């Protein structure tokens, strides 16, 4: 889904949701929009010293548990939490000391992406893409920078795999020595957008990569939750959403629109 297409369907989504009562299980209507965070980040993004693998510490699990989230037992080695009020809402915490991520850039279903990955623990949908599957915003796959077709048109951000830690940077990217990078929109793009649909949002917390999959929240409400959980405000990045919001893990945990093709995915592997 392109960013332009996303803009065009917001009104249609609202009308259809009101008429159908969200019969398809994906769409509802919220009431609040996004207010961008006021804090600013240092030039160039997150200080790598703050996210180095040697200094990674577990996030505050008590905080998330008090808000009705519980850890899910998995064989992936990734900390996974689900929302007790909606079991299709998930948080994945990727520790750079045990896991890393790569980006696959082929236009195919998530099942095909999963099958083509070498040793995946979990695979998640990636960034926005054009009708032909090419990236809307810059990606890095196998250390190769793939320039997005519309980098200059939107306020974007890229999360980077630096080998032993994760970091972020605003677009345009310029040069980079990163192994992999996935781009999305800054939450401010969704200001005053009360649409509720499936969302994929990522960010950084105490050295961990946080991947949020939700079904019943606005961007604003999930961003606020992630900030309360401790995710760095200026690292929060919204990936492609709607039917593109998908994941699959090795232990059969999955959330998939079976025939939906994706332009890119995040593959999380053991080190």
pLDDT digits (tens, 9 = 90+) for 198-238: 999 999 998 899 999 999 899 999 999 899 888 999 999 99
The tokens 């297409």 sit on which residue? 5
Instruction: Give the chain's domain count.
Output: 1
Could you list the residue range(s) of the whole structural domain that residue 62 is in? Answer: 3-31+47-270
- Please give the angle made by the CA atoms of 202, 205 and 210, to the nearest 5 degrees: 30
Strands (E), 50-155: 69-71, 79-83, 86-94, 99-104, 108-109, 120-125, 139-141, 144-146
Cα–Cα distance for residue pair 78/270, rounded to 1 Å: 9
Residues 6+ positions from 210 with CB-CB distance below 8 Å? 91, 92, 93, 94, 202, 203, 204, 226, 229, 231
Q: Is residue 36 part of a domain?
A: no
Residue 200 lies in a domain: yes
Q: In the predicted model, is pLDDT for residue 56 greater than 60?
A: no
Q: Cα–Cα distance between 186 and 155 in angstroms, integer?
A: 6
21 vs 27, higher pLDDT: 21
- What are the phi and psi torsion angles at 122 (to 5°)? -145, 150
The whole model's pTM is what?
0.78
Would you say 90 and 212 are in contact if contact means Cβ atoms under 8 Å apart? yes
In a domain, 40, yes or no: no
| Mean pLDDT computed over every residue of the chain | 79
Residue 124 in this model has a pLDDT that exceeds 60: yes
Has residue 41 been placed in a domain?
A: no
Digit-coded pLDDT (tens) for 190-199: 988 999 999 9
Residue 37 within a domain: no
- Cα-Cα-Cα-Cα dihedral sign, residues 41, 42, 44, 50: negative
Q: Is residue 54 part of a domain?
A: yes
Residue 141 lies in a domain: yes
Does 223 fall in a domain?
yes
The three-state (H, E, C) secondary structure of 188-225, written as one string:
HHHCCCCEEEEEEEEEEECCEEEEEEEEEECHHHHHHH
């Amino acid at each position: 889904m392109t960013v332009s297409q996303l803009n065009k369907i917001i009104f249609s989504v609202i009308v259809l949701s009101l008429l159908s009562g969200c019969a398809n299980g994906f769409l509802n209507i919220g009431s609040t929009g996004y207010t961008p965070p006021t804090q600013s980040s240092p030039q160039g993004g997150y200080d790598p010293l703050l996210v180095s693998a040697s200094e990674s510490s577990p996030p505050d699990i008590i905080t998330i548990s008090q808000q009705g989230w519980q850890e899910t037992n998995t064989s992936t080695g990734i900390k996974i939490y689900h929302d007790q009020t909606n079991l299709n809402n998930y948080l994945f915490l990727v520790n750079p000391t045990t896991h890393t991520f790569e980006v696959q850039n082929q236009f195919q279903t998530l099942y095909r992406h999963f099958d083509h990955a070498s040793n995946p623990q979990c695979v998640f949908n990636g960034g926005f893409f054009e009708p032909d599957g090419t990236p809307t915003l810059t990606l890095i796959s196998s250390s190769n920078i793939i320039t997005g077709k519309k980098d200059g048109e939107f306020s974007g951000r890229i999360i980077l795999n630096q080998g032993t830690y994760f970091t972020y940077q605003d677009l345009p990217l310029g040069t980079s020595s990163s192994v992999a990078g996935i781009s999305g929109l800054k939450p401010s793009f969704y200001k005053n957008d009360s649409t509720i649909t499936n969302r994929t949002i990522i960010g950084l917390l105490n050295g961990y990569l946080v991947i949020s999959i939700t079904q019943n929240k606005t961007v604003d409400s999930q961003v606020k939750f992630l900030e309360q959980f401790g995710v760095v405000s200026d690292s929060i990045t919204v990936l492609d959403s709607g039917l593109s919001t998908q994941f699959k893990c090795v232990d059969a945990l999955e959330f998939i629109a079976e025939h939906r093709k994706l332009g890119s995915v995040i593959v999380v592997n053991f080190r």
